[in-house]
A = this chain, B = another copy of it.
Amino acid sequence: MIVGVDVGGTNARALLVDPETGSVLGRHRTSSAGDGPTLVRSICVLVEHLRAEMANEANEANEANEANEANEANKANKANEAVDAVGLGIAGLADRSGTLRYSPNLPHLTEFPIGPELANAVGVPVTVGNDATAATLAEARLGAGRGSDHFGLVTLGTGIGTGFVLDGHLLEGSHGFAGEAGHMVVDAHGPTHITGQQGPWEYFASGSALGRLGREAAAKGGFDRGLEQAGTADGVTSHHLIAALSDDDADAASIFDGFCREVARGVANLVVILDLERIVVGGGLTEIGEPLRSGIDHHLGDLLLGAEHRPGVEVRLAELGDDAGALGAALLAAGDA
């Protein structure tokens, strides 16, 4: 069994995974706040919880085994096995030694050797990779990337995470840092982002950006329903926008259309550089569903140079939801890249 952990800016989510089938046998989450040693302790607790649950299940299943229930007996056999390794998917530049070199979302962890420290604490090998790269591997093996040798995962959340399968290979890059396309500058004279860059893609097209577009519109009288629900323009979030969108609010539809264009702008860049045949859209915003998929698809046709001479690029929604990062981290730890 492998434990896969997805360390985001707010939470760490752990899954107990059977690496042969990709089945999830248990799950836990905790806060990812605090410095490196604190996070190592938090992850140890997650792993211990999963180990304990596994032992409980094994006991129950052993009893079931005695009662001759074949399915449960099988589960028992799996659960009797130990945790062999831990895979960690983490937002930022994690190098191959397991040190997080740089992470705008986890600033307390910069230059912290989380891989070696965690391995020491849990007593099994730890593999560290980028969270979006891990999620890409999971979607490739078990989700919306299946059947494609040339796709990009684009997760729209606090920022934009990306990962790529190119010519059939999961792209890792020279130091394991590949796939930070959210930091690609698309508007060189545009607004300054929290990264210090002017006009990177994620400024315009992340989940956070959708909330900002809602606030800006509300402040200018362009999103009355949002203003009404939130009380103040400053209080408008992407949730107000998504709710209004599902009620066919015309303002929300217009704001959302502009947002989809910004997502498509970066996707068009990725397609001209990498010749992708498929884009898998993941992250929190996938709760919007088909309107998100078709909105990106529509604007991509317009923004992609030479689109009329290329086979179409398929836009799909991710299939593994919040599990993708931790599941992929487990697959990375199992050596499945």
Chain A residues within CB distance 8 Å of chain B? 93, 101-102, 110-111, 149-150, 162, 166-167, 169, 171-181, 183-190, 195-197, 199-200, 265, 268-270, 272-277, 305-306, 309-311
Contact B93 A306 (CB under 8 A): yes
Contacts of A169 in B (CB 8 A): 166-167, 169
Contact A166 B177 (CB under 8 A): no
Contact A184 B273 (CB under 8 A): yes
Contact B273 A175 (CB under 8 A): no
Contact of A310 among B175, B184, B275 (CB under 8 A): B175
Contact A93 B166 (CB under 8 A): no
Contact B175 A274 (CB under 8 A): no
Contact A185 B268 (CB under 8 A): yes
Contact B188 A265 (CB under 8 A): yes
Bound together, the chains give a CA A125 to CA B179 distance in angstroms of: 37
With contacts A110-B309, A188-B265 known, is A173 near B275, CB below 8 A? yes
Contact B309 A273 (CB under 8 A): no
6 contacts between A and B (CB under 8 A): A172-B275, A173-B276, A183-B305, A186-B186, A188-B199, A188-B265
Taking the closest CB of chain B, its distance from the CB of A13, in whole angstroms, is: 25
Contact of A189 among B173, B189, B269, B311 (CB under 8 A): B189
Contact A305 B197 (CB under 8 A): yes
Taking the closest CB of chain B, its distance from the CB of A97, in whole angstroms, is: 12
Contact B186 A185 (CB under 8 A): yes
With contacts A184-B272, A188-B186, A273-B273 known, is A309 near B167, CB below 8 A? no
